[in-house]
Structure 1
Amino acid sequence: MTPAFERYIEPARRRPQLWRVALGLVLIVVIYVIPLAGIAFLPDLPPQVENFLDHLLIGPWLTLVILASFLPAILGVIVAVRLLHRRSAASLIGPRRPAFRDFLITAGVMLGLAAIASVLASIFAPPEEGIYRNLPLIVWLAFLPLGVLGILVQTGAEELIFRGYLQQQLAARFRSPLIWMLLPSILFGALHYNPLEMGGNSLLVVFVTGLVGLLAADLTARTGTLGAAWGLHAANNALALLFVAAPGPLGGLGLWVRQMPQSAPEMIPLLLLDVASLLVIWAVARRLLRR
């Protein structure tokens, strides 16, 4: 463990019992699920209201609602660390100024390299098939601030849970990084298993998502803040949701939409390219983040 990471997990050492972590995860899930479950028990709405909501909750608005649905998860983490571990949620982030700097560096590296890759692709590569405009530019720009805010909420919730709460508490209890880095990353990937939408590509998506979690865990261990992991995650999702998105409920904010291959053999080259890009971005960010 680096000295910075030792300082980062120090608050978690005060109450490191595993039963607290398990109960904390249950508490987070319950607080996250309650608002979603409550929707099922709402009384029948007038037909005019239902028709209005059906027309409203499509495209960009539907994506924003999905991103905003992670707000209760943030509340759940705050309640869990205060109630079960007697510490503030700010301790999950680490020192504020270094965390903010780490966030900007990592997000900047990812967005910068993605911009360079896009320019090179437009010069040397033929136009990619299956990509089409999703939103008019003026509409996309109007939704962009809300989209960025929604992504910060969604990625912030996941980072607080997996690289903040889980990684901190497991590192306070176990010395081996195989436990405090690998277990949260495996769980993070497994929760993205979605065969209904991803079909035969589900396990490939789980693998890449788990890799993102592992790289984020390494950046957290290196820097002793949540900023770098959050920056990596937020920039990655911004590229995937705001610029070239996949069709579906999460594609409503994309400037463009790209039809994704439906079979695993067709998907593997794209995912290998994503993995290679992530490793380059991680290596560059890791070097820049040296204390």
Structure 2
Amino acid sequence: MTDPRPDSTPLWRDTPPALWRSVLGLLIFLSLYSVLLSLWFIALAPFAAALPAGRQVATLLMLTSFVTALLALELVLRMLHGRGLAALAGPLPPLLRQGGRVLLYALPVMVVLSALPMPEALAPRRHLQTGAWLSWLPLGLLAVAIQISAEEFLFRGYVQGRLRARFDHPALWLLLPALLFGVLHFDPGSGGNAWWFVASATAFGLAAGDLTARSGSLGPALALHFLNNCTAILILSFGDELGGLALYHMTIRQDDAALLPLMPVDLASTLVLWLTARLALRR
């Protein structure tokens, strides 16, 4: 029998979803994602290497590769749940309205936070000239949008949504997806700072998860994630594989102990942006 509910009905309204189906969905997702991601780089890497602006293209290639995660999740939803990605996003009008309000409120706050003075030892250096940066900016914005959409649809839309429909306690449906999101940001190359980056990602996961639960759509989390990653990838980035599109580069690496004093500031910034987004949703 055909499910009469619209495709935009969030999965967390199902009562209650089978836990084994959610676990199976994640396992199938991981398998599909691994295959699709490998095919993506095999198919496009030769073209990227042949282009003159290799570093910028490499960053674009990495960010846009998250389209394979969206495709893998779409296939899982169709196979196991009879829905598409729209089922995770929530109704479109509230999503656009809420996401727009969060962008409107959080953007000036992000500008102020980004303009705060940094220690002299951490003063950034210019990476791209303004003209070159602006020429890459449209593609960079699109690539970041793809990347953050994949993460939000998976962690807040699917994982948190399924857990929230199955369990009542926020320690399970809010904390577990945030911890998973944080742990997957662990990078051994960051040395002693690795767990600070995990804590930062976990804090953001908690903020995005709370906004999703309160709003009933992915709009606020998508907006906040987009602003955060645009700042970290397109404005001021490390000089690694994700830094090709940045206007400025940090003069130190991710494993440098000089970063430690900035970690509490980063967590405080997440708190401020979360409170700003909650204020936007109340207006």
Superposition TM-score tier, normalisation by shorter sequence? 0.7 to 0.9
Once the two structures are superposed, residues 53-73 of structure 1 have per-residue CA deviations (whole angstroms, 9 ceiling, x without a partner) of 166573211110000111110
Q: 1:145 to 1:262 in 2, by over 3 A?
A: closer
In structure 1, runs of 5+ residues without a counterpart are 1-6, 43-48
Q: 1:168 to 1:52 in 2, by over 3 A?
A: closer
In structure 2, runs of 5+ residues without a counterpart are 1-7
Instruction: Please say if residues 201 and 263 of structure 1, whose CA atoms lie closer than 8 Å, have aligned partners that are also in contact.
Output: yes
Query: What residue is the counterpart of 1:4 in the other structure?
Result: none
Matched position secondary structure for 2:249: strand
Instruction: Please say if residues 9 and 169 of structure 1, whose CA atoms lie closer than 8 Å, have aligned partners that are also in contact.
Output: no
**Offset at residue 205 of structure 1 (A):** 0.3
**Offset at residue 142 of structure 1 (A):** 0.7
Matched position secondary structure for 1:289: helix
TM-score (norm 1): 0.86
Once the two structures are superposed, residues 35-63 of structure 1 have per-residue CA deviations (whole angstroms, 9 ceiling, x without a partner) of 33347888xxxxxx969816657321111
What is the CA–CA distance in structure 2 between the aligned matches of 1:41 and 1:133, rounded to whole Å?
A: 32
Identify the match of residue 280 of structure 1 among 267, 272, 283.
272
Root mean square deviation of aligned Cα: 2.6
- Correspondence 1:144-155 to 2 at 5 A: 144-155=137-148
Query: What residue is the counterpart of 1:109 in the other structure?
Result: 105
Query: What residue is the counterpart of 1:141 in the other structure?
Result: 134
What is the CA–CA distance in structure 2 between the aligned matches of 1:52 and 1:232, rounded to whole Å?
A: 30
Q: 1:13 to 1:79 in 2, by over 3 A?
A: same
What is the CA–CA distance in structure 2 between the aligned matches of 1:173 and 1:275, rounded to whole Å?
A: 30
Deviates more, 1:171-180 or 1:31-40: 31-40
Instruction: Please say if residues 106 and 276 of structure 2, whose CA atoms lie closer than 8 Å, have aligned partners that are also in contact.
Output: no
Q: 1:12 to 1:32 in 2, by over 3 A?
A: farther
Instruction: Please say if residues 8 and 225 of structure 1, whose CA atoms lie closer than 8 Å, have aligned partners that are also in contact.
Output: no
Query: What residue is the counterpart of 1:100 in the other structure?
Result: 96
Q: Is residue 206 of structure 1 aligned with residue 198 of structure 2?
A: yes
What is the CA–CA distance in structure 1 between the aligned matches of 2:78 and 2:107, rounded to whole Å?
A: 35
Q: 1:105 to 1:39 in 2, by over 3 A?
A: closer
Instruction: Please say if residues 15 and 85 of structure 1, whose CA atoms lie closer than 8 Å, have aligned partners that are also in contact.
Output: no
Letter in 1 for 2:186: Y
Q: Is residue 267 of structure 1 aligned with residue 275 of structure 2?
A: no
Query: What residue is the counterpart of 1:194 in the other structure?
Result: 187
- Correspondence 1:1-291 to 2 at 5 A: 9=10, 12-13=13-14, 16-38=17-39, 53=49, 56=52, 58-119=54-115, 121=117, 129-196=122-189, 198-260=190-252, 265-290=257-282
**Offset at residue 188 of structure 1 (A):** 0.4
Deviates more, 1:93-102 or 1:151-160: 93-102
Matched position secondary structure for 1:250: coil
TM-score (norm 2): 0.88
Q: 1:85 to 1:75 in 2, by over 3 A?
A: same
Instruction: Please say if residues 220 and 229 of structure 1, whose CA atoms lie closer than 8 Å, have aligned partners that are also in contact.
Output: yes
Letter in 2 for 1:37: S
Matched position secondary structure for 1:251: coil
Letter in 2 for 1:254: A
Query: What residue is the counterpart of 2:4 in the other structure?
Result: none
Deviates more, 1:11-20 or 1:257-266: 257-266
% same residue: 38
Instruction: Please say if residues 48 and 54 of structure 2, whose CA atoms lie closer than 8 Å, have aligned partners that are also in contact.
Output: no
Q: 1:257 to 1:88 in 2, by over 3 A?
A: same
